[in-house]
Structure 1
Amino acid sequence: MAPIPKPKPSTIAAIDKHYVDEARDWDSLGISVSLAGAECARALFYEFRWASKPEPATGKRQRLFERGQDDEEKMLRDLRAIGVEVWGEQERARAVHGFVRGKLDGIALGLLEAPKTIHVVECKSLNTKGFKAVIKDGVKKAKPLHHAQIQIYMHVLGYDRGYYYIKCADTQEYHSERVEYDVEFCLRLLANLERIIFTDVPPPKISEDPEFYLCRFCKHNSVCHNGLLPRVTCRTCIHFQPERGGDCHVSCARWAKPLSIDEQRAACPAMLFNPAFVPYEQVDVDEEAETITYRKPDGSIWIDGATREEAA
Structure 2
Amino acid sequence: MPPSPIAANVRRIFDCGDYLGYRFSKYFTEMGMLVAEEQPTKLESPPISGRYDFLIQHEVYGRTIVELKSINDKGFKALITDPKTDHYLQLQIYLNILNIEHGIVLYENKNDQQIKCFDVSKNADVWEQLLNKCYHIMQLTAMPLACTGEKYCRCKEVPNGKAMDSAISG
Q: TM-score, normalised by structure 2?
A: 0.85
Given candidates 66, 79, 83, the residue that maps to 2:15 is: 66
Whose helix proportion is higher, 1 or 2? Answer: 2
Task: Find the aligned partners of 1:180 and 1:222 in 2 and give their Cα distance.
Answer: 35
Task: Find the aligned partners of 2:6 and 2:58 in 1 and give their Cα distance.
Answer: 39
Given candidates 42, 55, 66, the residue that maps to 1:121 is: 66
Deviation string, structure 1 residues 269-291 (Cα, Å, up to 9, x no partner): xxxxxxxxxxxxxxxxxxxxxxx
Given candidates 50, 53, 77, the residue that maps to 1:102 is: 50
Task: Find the aligned partners of 1:86 and 1:126 in 2 and give their Cα distance.
Answer: 23
Gaps spanning 5+ residues in structure 2: where?
A: none
TM-aligned CA deviation for residue 89 of structure 1:
1.1
Q: Give the SS at the match of 2:62.
A: coil
Matched, 1:230 2:139: no
Given candidates 123, 142, 155, the residue that maps to 1:220 is: 155
Letter in 2 for 1:129: K
Letter in 2 for 1:73: Y
- Residue-pair matches, total: 170
Q: Give the SS at the match of 2:9.
A: helix
Q: What residue is the counterpart of 1:170 in the other structure?
A: 111
Larger Rg computed on CA atoms? 1
TM-aligned CA deviation for residue 56 of structure 1:
2.5
1:222–1:123 Cα change, 3 Å: closer
Gaps spanning 5+ residues in structure 1: where?
A: 1-49, 208-212, 237-266, 268-311
1:74-153 pair list within 5 angstroms: 74-81=23-30, 83-97=31-45, 99-111=47-59, 114=60, 117-134=62-79, 136-139=80-83, 143-153=84-94
1:49-64 pair list within 5 angstroms: 50=1, 53-64=2-13
Task: Find the aligned partners of 1:171 and 1:186 in 2 and give their Cα distance.
Answer: 34
Task: Find the aligned partners of 1:181 and 1:219 in 2 and give their Cα distance.
Answer: 29
The question of whether the paired residues in 2 share the 8 Å contact of 1:196 and 1:203 is answered with: no
Letter in 1 for 2:75: G
RMSD: 2.5
Q: Give the SS at the match of 2:133.
A: helix
TM-aligned CA deviation for residue 224 of structure 1:
4.1
The question of whether the paired residues in 2 share the 8 Å contact of 1:222 and 1:228 is answered with: no
Deviation string, structure 1 residues 47-100 (Cα, Å, up to 9, x no partner): xxx3xx33331111111111111101212322332x242122121111243731
The question of whether the paired residues in 2 share the 8 Å contact of 1:55 and 1:219 is answered with: no
The question of whether the paired residues in 2 share the 8 Å contact of 1:96 and 1:190 is answered with: no
